[in-house]
Amino acid sequence: MIKRIGVLTGGGDCPGLNPVLRAVVKTAIVKYGYEVIGFKDGYRGLVENNFVKLDLDDVSGLLDQGGTILGTSNKHNPFNYPVNVDGNIEYRDMSKRVLENLDMFGIDCMVFIGGDGTLTTARDLMEMGVKGIGVPKTIDNDLSGTDTTFGFMTAVYTATEAIDKLHSTAESHHRVMILEVMGRYAGWIALEAGISGGADVILIPEIPYDINKVAQKIMERKNRGKSFSIIVVAEGAKDIEGDMVVNKIVEDSPDPIRLGGVGNKIAEEIERLTGIESRVTVLGHLQRGGAPVPYDRVLSTRYGVHAVELINQGKFGMMVSLKGNRITEVPIEEAVGTLKTVDPNGELVKIAKSLGVGFGD
């Protein structure tokens, strides 16, 4: 008998988190009469007992709001938790405290909303006996087990809008405009935004690029009377030597590598090889912020409702999933551990190449 469920949002923020929370809370209360407890700042709230009871009024008006009212964190894995000991940070396994806290507050099931890191931790907690359901979140769309993660389409829309604006200034000044987008080790945002924005070159991690071929593409356009070019580059794009550009290392993060700077590298090389003035725009966290587009509002709502339905059916250990046009579920272990990346020989890449888009290969 389920009476009280918990929910948290972990990892990086993205558009659609609040609509998921809204759907979970409304379905739980209105349809099933469950009580809902929200844990603040991801797993930190679960370890440190920082929580809030969520009622219908708390989620009213959240459908079009970006971010998450619960807050989030990607640095508080309960299995490797930072603890301040006499001014020094030590890392300890606090997973048993999570179990104790859930038992103390009578939480019958958890809804874990997050990406690969958050759901990997959720899986580990489930293996310890926690009843849980996962909801796939990431703007990178790199989570296995689902066709689309919520937040992705909003990030693509933001990147596409940026490309649209760069076109006019690129044409006016006869420049090469380079837009660097997020995506970590997957090129989904760059690929789909590049296609929808009419980019001339798209560089993604899955297809190592030869800068000479990129320059050749730009010169071919110039020789046809096209005095400008648009390049969309994923932050994890690799050259033919296999090198990515690392911005910095964050030692206390579960994913310490911070990518960034590949746009500037490409701009310098393009200017050297072609003599054409090049400018870089790094879209950065603009892709994470703002109101979710209608697609993500609907997808987030479908995910949140289905998560509660799975709880009612007792189907724990699952992650809600989109397969084609159908909302379903998969075992959470199928969703984590292996990133979903772009197929270099897939339909979208072939379509882009048919249109004359260069990938530097």
Q: Are residues 285 and 300 in the same domain?
A: no
Count of domains in the chain? Answer: 2
Residue 319 is assigned to a structural domain of this protein: yes
Mean pLDDT by 10 residues, the chain (361 residues): 94 94 98 97 95 97 95 91 88 95 95 95 96 96 95 97 94 92 95 97 97 96 92 95 77 70 94 94 92 97 98 97 96 91 97 96 93
Backbone angles phi, psi at 340, to 5 degrees: -90, 110
Residue 296's DSSP bridge partners are none
Segment holding 204, helix H or strand E: none
Concerning whether 103 is annotated as a catalytic residue, the answer is no
Q: Are residues 309 and 248 in the same domain?
A: no
Q: Is residue 190 within 8 Å of residue 234, measured between CB atoms?
A: yes
What is the domain range of residue 143? 4-150+292-334
By C-alpha distance, which of 303, 335, 332 is closest to 142? 335
Q: Which of 13, 41, 140, 239 is the catalytic position?
A: 140
Tell me the DSSP string of 59-73.
GTT-TT--S-TT---
pLDDT at 253: 65
Q: Are residues 140 and 87 in the same domain?
A: yes
Residue 127 is assigned to a structural domain of this protein: yes
CATH of the domain at 205: 3.40.50.460
pLDDT at 348: 97
CATH of the domain at 105: 3.40.50.450
Residue 356 is assigned to a structural domain of this protein: no
Residue 340 is assigned to a structural domain of this protein: no
14-15-17 Cα angle (round to 5): 80
Residue 46 is assigned to a structural domain of this protein: yes
Q: Are residues 172 and 297 in the same domain?
A: no
Q: Are residues 43 and 167 in the same domain?
A: no
By C-alpha distance, which of 22, 30, 27, 34 is closest to 59? 22
